[in-house]
Chain A
Amino acid sequence: MARLDIDRLVKRYGDFFAVKDVSLSVADGEFLVLLGPSGCGKTTTLRMVAGFIEPTAGEVKLGGSNVTLLPPWKRNAGMVFQSYALFPHLTVAQNVAFGLEMRKLPRAEVDKRVEEALALVRLAGFGARLPRQLSGGQQQRVALARALAIRPDVLLLDEPLSNLDAKLRQEVRVEIRELQKQLGLTTVMVTHDQEEALTMADRLVVMNEGTVHQVGTQRDLYERPADRFVAGFVGRTTFLSGTVANGRFRTDGGLDLAVAPSSTGGAPGKAALSLRPERLEIAPGPIAGLDNDLPGTVEFVSYLGAQIDIHVRLSPADRLVVQIANRGGFAPEVGQRVHVGWRASAGQVFRE
Chain B
Amino acid sequence: MRRSQGLTAAALLGPATIFIAVGLLAPLAILFRYSLNSFVAQTKTMVEALTIQNYITFFTDPYYTGALGTTVKVALLVTVVCLVLGFPLAYVVARTQSRFKHLLIIAIVLPLFVGNSVRAAGWMVVFGNKGFFNASLMGLGILSKPIEIMFTENAVIIGIIAVNLPFMVLSLQSVIESIDRAVEEAAFSLGAPPLTMFRRVLWPLALPGILAGTILCFILAMNAYATPFLLGGPLFKMMAPVIYNEFTQKTNWPFGGAIAFILMAVTLSLTIAANALLRRRTAA
A binding-site residues for B, Cβ under 8 Å: 50-52, 71-79, 81-83, 85-89, 98-99, 102-103, 146-147, 150
User: Is chain B's interface secondary structure helix, strand, loop, or mixed overall?
Assistant: helix
Is A99 a contact partner of B180 (Cβ separation < 8 A)? no
B binding-site residues for A, Cβ under 8 Å: 180, 182-183, 185-193, 196-197, 200-201, 204-205
On whether A98 and B180 interact (CB within 8 A), knowing A52-B185, A87-B201, A89-B205, the answer reads no
**Nearest CB of A to B130, in Å:** 51
Is B185 a contact partner of A98 (Cβ separation < 8 A)? no
Residue from B180, B185, B205 within 8 A of A79 (CB atoms): B185
Residues of B within 8 A of A150 (CB): 190-191
Is A89 a contact partner of B192 (Cβ separation < 8 A)? no
- Would you mind naming 25 contact pairs between A and B with Cβ atoms under 8 Å apart? A51-B188, A52-B189, A72-B185, A73-B188, A73-B190, A74-B191, A76-B191, A77-B189, A78-B189, A79-B186, A81-B182, A81-B185, A81-B186, A83-B182, A85-B180, A85-B185, A87-B201, A88-B205, A89-B205, A98-B192, A99-B190, A102-B190, A102-B192, A102-B196, A103-B191
Residues of A within 8 A of B187 (CB): 87, 98
User: Is chain A's interface secondary structure helix, strand, loop, or mixed overall?
Assistant: loop
Residues of B within 8 A of A103 (CB): 191
On whether A73 and B186 interact (CB within 8 A), knowing A85-B180, A87-B201, the answer reads no
Which residue of chain A is the closest to B190 with respect to CB atoms? A99
**Nearest CB of B to A18, in Å:** 14
Residues of B within 8 A of A82 (CB): 182
- Cα A103 to Cα B185 with chains together (Å): 17
Add 10 more A-B contacts to A87-B186, A98-B200 (CB < 8 A): A73-B189, A73-B191, A77-B189, A82-B182, A87-B187, A89-B204, A99-B191, A102-B190, A150-B190, A150-B191
Residues of A within 8 A of B191 (CB): 73-74, 76, 99, 102-103, 150
Residues of A within 8 A of B180 (CB): 83, 85
Is A85 a contact partner of B188 (Cβ separation < 8 A)? no
**Nearest CB of B to A298, in Å:** 50
